[in-house]
């Protein structure tokens, strides 16, 4: 659902060339779509064990992305490893994407810290996220929002999408899923 929303979200992003990072890219769908739609370089990241499949998918779509004026790179990035933080401001990103990144109680902290390290600390910087409103994850979503605000981010625009999850229910039909999405902008120290 986030990949389908990217075109309309361009209005909330900085003008000019974007430097884009996708966290927890999985198959790379959102980042590949962003590279095509926004005609920019997107760095797809995930855990080392996910990277081979992510690299394969980026390679399979490389010609298409190039035809649309974008480019892709794939990197391993473990959110729990603060040592792999950027050394220079030029290594940070103006836009960070994350689709469905919460699967445990520790993920809100790890995700917020990773965003804090990799997102440019400028008023043009944006973090875009879409999260399924799955039962049992209310606390994690609330924790993420609190931590993002503490990092100096503020919601610029948000909404809800309804679509289908990527697995079937007990009846063999695709399960409907409601997702919350938001564009966060960097406002600086919230104190």
Mean pLDDT across 44-66:
97
Domain ranges of the chain: 2-9+17-186
Output the pLDDT for position 163.
83
Is a pLDDT exceeding 90 seen at residue 156? yes
Distance, in Å, from the CA atom of 150 to the CA atom of 23, rounded to the nearest integer, reads: 19
Q: Quick one: angle between helices 107-118 and 138-150, nearest 10?
A: 30
Tell me which CATH code domain 2-9+17-186 carries. Answer: 3.40.50.150
Q: Sorting pLDDT into bands at 50, 70 and 90, what band is 134?
A: confident
> What is the pLDDT, as a whole number, of residue 72?
97
Q: How confident is the model at residue 177 (pLDDT cuts 50, 70, 90)?
A: confident
Torsion sign across C-alpha atoms 65, 128, 115, 105: negative
pLDDT for 176: 84
Per-residue pLDDT for 29 more than 90? yes
Mean pLDDT score across all residues of the chain: 92
Gyration radius from the chain CA atoms = 16
User: How far apart, in whole angstroms, are the C-alpha atoms of residue 75 and residue 123?
Assistant: 26
Listed residue (181, 93, 91, 189) closest to 145, CA to CA: 181
């Amino acid at each position: 659902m986030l990949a389908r929303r990217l075109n309309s979200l361009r209005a909330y992003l900085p003008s000019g060339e974007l430097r884009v990072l996708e966290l927890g890219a999985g198959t790379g769908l959102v980042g590949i779509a962003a590279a095509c739609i926004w005609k920019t370089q997107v760095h797809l990241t995930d855990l080392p064990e996910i990277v081979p499949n992510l690299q394969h998918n980026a390679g399979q779509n490389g010609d298409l992305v190039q035809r649309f004026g974008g480019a892709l790179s794939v990197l391993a990035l473990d959110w729990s490893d603060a040592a792999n933080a950027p050394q220079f401001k030029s290594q940070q990103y103006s836009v960070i994407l994350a689709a469905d990144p919460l699967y445990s109680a520790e993920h809100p902290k790890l995700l917020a810290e990773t965003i804090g390290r990799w997102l440019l600390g400028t008023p043009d910087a944006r973090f875009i996220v879409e999260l399924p409103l799955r039962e049992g994850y209310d606390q994690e979503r609330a924790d993420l929002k609190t931590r993002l605000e503490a990092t100096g981010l503020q919601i610029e625009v948000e909404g809800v999408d309804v679509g289908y999850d990527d697995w079937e229910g007990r009846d063999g039909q695709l399960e409907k899923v409601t997702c919350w999405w938001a564009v966060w902008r960097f406002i600086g120290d919230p104190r």
